[in-house]
Each structure stands twice: as C-alpha cells, then as structure tokens.
Amino acid sequence: MFQRDYFMRMIEQMTEAVGQVMQLRRELKQEDALVVIDELLDRRFGLSGKLIRTLSDEDLLAVMTKNGVVETDNIQAIAILFKQEAELYEDLGKEAESFAHSLKALHLFMRLSLIDAPPTLTNSSEEVVILLDKLSPYELPSRTKLLVAEWHESEGAFALAENIWYELLDDGAADKGEVAAFYMRLLPFQEDKLAAGGLPIEEIRTGLNSLEMEQ
C-alpha cells in the first residue's frame, strides 16, 4: 500500500511538473521552466540536482539501487526531466546544452529498456526511438554508440546493431574480437528471428568469415 501511494504521488508530481514546464514553454518562459526542473531535481530524489547532473548513467543507476533493486521510477522521472531540459535549451538556441541533455536522457532510457523497466511514467523503448531520431544529425560519442548497439541487439534489430559495431570498428573504439562476439551471440537464434532482425544467418557467417580472414 505504501509503495502504491509513493508511486501515485510521484506520478502526480511529475504530471504537474511537466504540465507546468509545458505551460511556461508556451508562454516563452523557458528560463522559468528550467528553474522548475532544477527545483524538482533538488527536492524529489534524495540527491542534489547538481550531483544528479554530475553522475554518469551507470553511476546514477548504482546510486538508485537499493537492496539490489533499481528504483526505475526515479530513473524514468530523471530521464524525462533531462529530455524536457533538452527541449527548453533547444528553444533558447543553446545547441550544445540541448545535445548534452538529450544524450543524458537517451542513456538513461536505454539503460531502463535493457533491464525491462516497467513503463510507470513512460515507455523507455519508445523514448529511445524518439531521441535517436532527434540525435541522428549528430556524431554520437563511442560510449553512446556501444550502448546503442547493445540496445538494438536487445530489441532484435540485429542489422542496426551490426551497423553500429562496424562504425565503432572504423572509429577504433571496438576491435574485431568484439564484432565477432556480437555475431557469435546471434548464432543460437532461430533463423526466422535473425531474418526479422535484418541479419540472416548467411550474412552472420559471411561476417564471421570476413573477420577471420582479416586477422
């Protein structure tokens, strides 16, 4: 009962905050909207907003894990707020800040999707798709690409994952052994699943053979 009440309060607070931010955005009061988000980050999650912004996505998940259970609702809420901030900075013409906050939100939503977090506040996988589309004009950091490759693989989008792995290989951010390991993880899957993911078994074998010949 207590947990349900906690979730309901969180949903109410987030709904109210997002509504307030959207209203301020319509009124072209982006700076005021950013203050609303700052205040919510400071008071809602048991950490200072400054610390939340400083922590990496991995560290934030670690901090938000109690007795081995990730507080996915809190992570979702923070990711939503980062996404809102990105949109506000975009309105203000601050491209670098918008990109940085979009990237933070993307990382958190991918982490949530990878652990099958329940969609208490939003659907993490859908948010990933939206953010990847928004960030498509940009060159993503290698660390982000690694997470994107992992996420595509988990979603069964094997051809997209393969593309990312070869980008990483070209960037010098991955080696042939890692690409081969990706192919090896796919070999046990049913052929229809591989084909549905855009990477038929024949292409996987061809990829493995090519990597072996290049070594």
Mean pLDDT of 77-103: 97
Q: 58: which residues sit within 8 A by CB, 6+ positions away?
A: 111
Shared domain for 114 and 155, answered yes or no, is no
Reference 41, options 67, 21, 26; nearest CA is 21
- The per-residue pLDDT for range 133-166, each reduced to its tens digit, is 999 999 999 999 999 999 999 999 999 999 999 9
Shared domain for 145 and 134, answered yes or no, is no
Residue 198 backbone class (left: φ over 0; alpha: ψ -120 to 50; beta: rest): left
Rounded to 5°, the CA angle 184-190-194 comes to 70
CA distance 10 to 108: 18
At which of 98, 117, 138 does a domain end? Answer: 138
- The per-residue pLDDT for range 65-80, each reduced to its tens digit, is 988 999 999 999 999 9
Shared domain for 158 and 112, answered yes or no, is no
Shared domain for 128 and 201, answered yes or no, is no
At which of 105, 138, 171 does a domain end? Answer: 138
What are residue 59's phi and psi, to 5 degrees? -65, -35
At which of 106, 138, 170 does a domain end? Answer: 138
Shared domain for 41 and 113, answered yes or no, is yes
Report the domain count for the chain. 2
DSSP-based three-state secondary structure for 120: coil
Six-digit token pair at 86? 């990105």
Whether 199 and 158 have beta carbons less than 8 Å apart is answered as yes
* pLDDT above 60: residue 58: yes
Q: To the nearest whole number, what is the mean pLDDT of the chain?
A: 93
Shared domain for 12 and 102, answered yes or no, is yes
Six-digit token pair at 170? 């070209």
Give pLDDT, residue 16.
87
Mean pLDDT of 184-201: 97
Shared domain for 93 and 175, answered yes or no, is no
Which residues form the domain of 124?
A: 1-138
Whether 60 and 78 have beta carbons less than 8 Å apart is answered as yes
Shared domain for 206 and 166, answered yes or no, is yes
CA distance 128 to 92: 23
Q: 11: which residues sit within 8 A by CB, 6+ positions away?
A: 120, 121
Shared domain for 99 and 73, answered yes or no, is yes
